[in-house]
Amino acid sequence: LSSKLNGVFDRLRRRGALSEADVSEALREVRVALLEADVALPVVKDLVAKVRERAVGQEVIRSVSPAQQVVKIVNDAIVEALGGGGETPAPSGLDLSAPSPVPILMVGLQGSGKTTTSGKIALRLKNRDRKKVLLASLDVQRPAAQLQLAQLAQQAGVASLPIVPGQTPLEIAARAMDVGRRELYDVVVLDTAGRLAIDEALMGEVAAVKAQARPHETLLVVDAMTGQDAVNTARAFQERVGVTGIVMTRVDGDARGGAALSMRQITGAPIKLLGAGEKQDALEDFHPDRIAGRILGMGDIVSLVERAAETIDRDEAEKLAAKMQKGKFDLEDYASQLKQIGKMGSLSGILGMLPGVGRMKQQIEDANLDNTILKRHAAIIGSMTPKERRTPDIIKASRKRRIAAGAGTTVQEVNRLLKQFDDMSAMMKRMNKMGQKGMMRGGLA
Ligand code: GDP
Ligand code: MG
């Protein structure tokens, strides 16, 4: 795949804005990569459409090809799609903001890793959140299931609900919450039975437990290796039971992780944790960027583009700094300065590249150039003619009115910008003189 992509890169190596053709060609390869990573087709289509819209017309970053740049845009879109939704979690990564005992319900297909993950979560809640945890198995399908959980509880050093033969899952859940209340547990983890496939009996049972126990978190446990099937599982559980988060297990295997993206998109539920092995400490926090890298499998291209973009920001900033030093700073430069804001860290960041401007830098910071003003200023400069930008002195009343109208703002605002620019130019002239004096002194010494 990467040699195919390189071919695309070579053909597309040039400047300007990303064209439809650049983007389409790159996206064809990206599409294949995503499908190979087990991302579900509708999710791939969605993502590709979003990226196409975002990428076409974007300025090409020097020293990388359009195709490489598109890969980076895809990467960012995946990170964005995977992230969010896990707000204000406890150190464990779970949401525990409910009265104790906080019920956590584990759901999923048989063999997905529910019981193992219950043990891991208990250990984590104990160690990271300092919680008193009770584990309860509602699995009456397999005779050994309750014993398995009791053993895991013992390993983790937490309590498990005493086994009472013959109880239904609902009865066990009620008893677990009761013990949780009476014995002052902080969290009760309810581990349910799974089925090999989704069926109505399973869903009915899980839904009934959920309605009774009213869990604060309902975690769907899904095996990363199940690939495309993970999507159907996730959709079914979300529709029938409702989940607050997803735990993806077996990420220690060689699955590319596309299921994470599909499940996130289709259920809207955040991926909260990753299972990365059979041992109890093999539970990891979810990092969207790491999974994105794994899904796309083009990590080196992504970092290449990131480095190139940084270099350009630096280059532009240095060019501006040089112009300032020569006292040749016009409104064009001010506009490109405004573009840099947020990337490089503002005018004061650029001034920081000039020698001996500590005090000036402070003055500019004090001038309170906040972001909304900067955006407005960019719009005002945008509606000036090139000549006006180079020689602002010609901007008199009628031009001001035209510029203000074009930028959707007032003449006062235009005046304010021109005043600010004047102040800045004056300051630069002073700075320039100071610099020359400094050089003279240096020359005399
Ligand atoms: P349940 O049926 O959903 O409760 O699944 P179990 O918790 O019993 O797990 C089934 C098998 O998967 C066990 O052998 C676990 O050791 C194994 N397992 C669970 N999570 C992981 C994981 O993250 N990585 C690996 N490699 N194995 C896991
Ligand atoms: Mg189990």
The CATH number assigned to the domain holding 54 equals: 1.20.120.140
Look at ligand 1, atom 15, and give the residue with the nearest C-alpha.
Answer: 278
Distance of alpha carbon 120 from alpha carbon 110, whole angstroms: 17
Residue type, 140: V
Residue list, annotated binding site for GTP: 108-115, 191-195, 249-252
> Do 158 and 206 have their domain in common?
yes
Ligand 1 atom showing the smallest separation from residue 112 Cα? 3
Q: Are strands 217-223 and 245-249 parallel, antiparallel or unpaired?
A: parallel
> Does the residue 345 lie in any domain?
yes
**Other C-beta atoms within 10 Å of 366: how many?**
9
Q: Which atom of ligand 1 is nearest to the CA of 253?
A: 26
Pair 137, 235 in one domain:
yes
Distance (angstroms) between ligand 2 centre and the Cα of 206 equals: 13
Is residue 62 classed exposed, middle or buried when 0-12, 13-18 and 19+ CB atoms within 10 A define those classes? exposed
Q: How far is the CA of 275 from the centre of ligand 1 (A)?
A: 9
The whole-number pLDDT of residue 441 equals: 40
* Residues ≥6 apart with Cβ < 8 Å to 409: 376, 379, 380
Of all protein residues, the one whose alpha carbon is nearest to atom 10 of ligand 1 is 111
Boundary of a domain, candidates 232, 261, 296:
296
Q: Write down which residue in 277, 296, 315 finishes a domain.
A: 296
Rounded-to-integer distance, Cα 133 and Cα 204, Å: 27
- 96 falls within a domain: no
Cα–Cα distance list, 24 to 28, 78, 79, 177, 439 (Å): 6, 18, 21, 55, 54
pLDDT value for 270 = 92
Question: Facing residues of 104 across strands?
Answer: 189, 217
CA dist 130 to 90, 135, 178, 424, Å? 11, 15, 21, 56
Q: Is the CB of 115 under 6 A from ligand 1?
A: yes
Q: Looking at the structure, do residues 181 and 330 belong to the same domain, yes or no? A: no
CB of residue 406 inside a 6 A radius of ligand 1: no
pLDDT in tens, the chain (445 residues): 555 555 554 444 445 678 888 888 889 988 998 998 889 999 999 999 999 988 888 877 777 778 888 888 898 899 989 886 655 667 888 989 899 999 999 999 999 999 999 999 999 999 999 999 999 999 998 879 999 999 999 999 999 999 999 999 999 999 999 999 999 999 999 999 987 777 888 889 999 999 999 999 999 999 998 877 888 899 999 999 999 999 999 998 888 889 999 999 999 999 999 999 999 999 998 888 888 888 888 777 777 777 777 776 677 767 777 776 676 778 887 777 666 654 544 455 555 555 445 555 555 555 555 556 677 788 888 889 888 988 888 999 999 999 999 988 999 999 988 887 887 777 777 766 665 554 444 333 2
Q: What is the pLDDT of residue 340?
A: 61
For residue 321, give the nearest of 173, 151, 435 by alpha carbon: 435
What is the per-residue pLDDT for 369?
A: 53
Q: Do both 319 and 362 map to the same domain?
A: yes
**Residue 90 included in any domain:** no
| Distance of alpha carbon 157 from alpha carbon 172, whole angstroms | 21
Count of CA atoms in the C-beta half-sphere (13 A) of 185: 25
* Cβ proximity of 204 and 68 under 8 Å: no
Residue at a domain's end among 296, 323, 341: 296
270 and 143 in a common domain: yes
- Report whether residue 112 contacts ligand 1, using a CB cutoff of 6 Å: yes
Q: Which residues pair with 247 in a beta bridge?
A: 221, 273
Q: What pTM, to 2 d.p., does this model score?
A: 0.70
Both 153 and 255 in one domain: the answer is yes
User: Domain range spanning residue 366?
Assistant: 303-444
Give the distance (Å) from ligand 1 centre to CA of residue 120: 11
Helical ranges in 58-184 per DSSP H: 66-82, 114-128, 145-156, 169-182
Measured distance CA(424)–CA(361) in Å, rounded: 11
Asked if residue 146 has its Cβ within 6 Å of ligand 1, the reply is: no
Q: Locate the ligand 1 atom nearest the alpha carbon of residue 116 and give its number.
A: 7
Helical segments of 13-65, H only:
20-36, 41-55
Does the Cβ of 194 fall within 6 Å of ligand 1?
A: yes
Residues whose CB is less than 8 angstroms from the CB of residue 281 and which lie 6 or more positions away in sequence, other chains included: 120, 123
Residue 127 and residue 25 share a domain: no
> Which residue has a Cα nearest atom 2 of ligand 1?
111
Amino acid (1-letter code) at residue 166:
G
Asked whether residue 235 is assigned to any structural domain, the reply reads yes
CB of 277 within 6 A of ligand 1: the answer is: yes
- Residue 164 corresponds to which amino acid? V
Ligand 1 atom closest to residue 148's alpha carbon, by position in its atom list: 8
Q: Is the domain of 286 the same as that of 326? A: no
Residue 53 lies in a domain: yes
**Residue 59 CB neighbours (<10 A):** 12
Overall domain count for the chain: 3
Residue whose CA is at the smallest distance from ligand 1 atom 6: 113
Report the length, in residues, of the chain: 445
Q: Is the CB of 151 under 6 A from ligand 1?
A: no
Q: Are 31 and 44 in contact (CB under 8 A)?
A: yes
Ligand 1 atom at shortest distance from the alpha carbon of 108: 3
Q: Best substitution site from 116, 142, 195 to test ligand 1's pocket, by max atoms within 8 Å of Cβ?
A: 116
Residue 154 maps to which CATH number?
A: 3.40.50.300
Nearest ligand for residue 107 CA: 1
Per-residue model confidence (pLDDT) at position 159: 96
Is residue 184 a part of any domain in this protein? yes
Ligand 1 close to Cβ of residue 110 (< 6 A): yes
Mark whether 255 and 143 lie in a shared domain. yes
Is 349's C-beta closer than 6 angstroms to any atom of ligand 1? no
Residue 93 lies in a domain: no
Is 275 a pocket residue for ligand 1 (Cβ < 6 Å)?
Answer: yes
- Check whether residue 136 and residue 25 sit in a common domain: no
Determine the distance separating the centroid of ligand 2 and the alpha carbon of 32, expressed in angstroms. Answer: 35
Q: What single letter denotes the amino acid at residue 391?
A: T
* Most ligand 1 atoms within 8 A of CB, residue of 137, 278, 283 to mutate: 278
> Do residues 382 and 350 both lie within one domain?
yes
Could you tell me the sign of the dihedral formed by the alpha carbons of 59, 60, 63, 64, in that order?
positive
Whether the CB-CB separation of 265 and 294 falls below 8 Å is answered with no
Enumerate the known binding-site residues: 108-115, 191-195, 249-252
Q: What's the CA gap between 140 and 316, in Å, rounded?
A: 67
Residue nearest to atom 19 of ligand 1 (CA): 113
Residue 394 and residue 385 in contact, taking contact as beta carbons nearer than 8 Å: no
**Does residue 121 share a domain with residue 59?**
no
Residue type, 83: G
pLDDT of residue 310: 74
Q: With respect to residue 312, please indicate whether it lies within any of the assigned structural domains.
A: yes
Q: State which ligand 1 atom lies nearest to the alpha carbon of 276.
A: 23
Instruction: Tell how strand 133-137 and strand 159-160 pair up.
Output: parallel
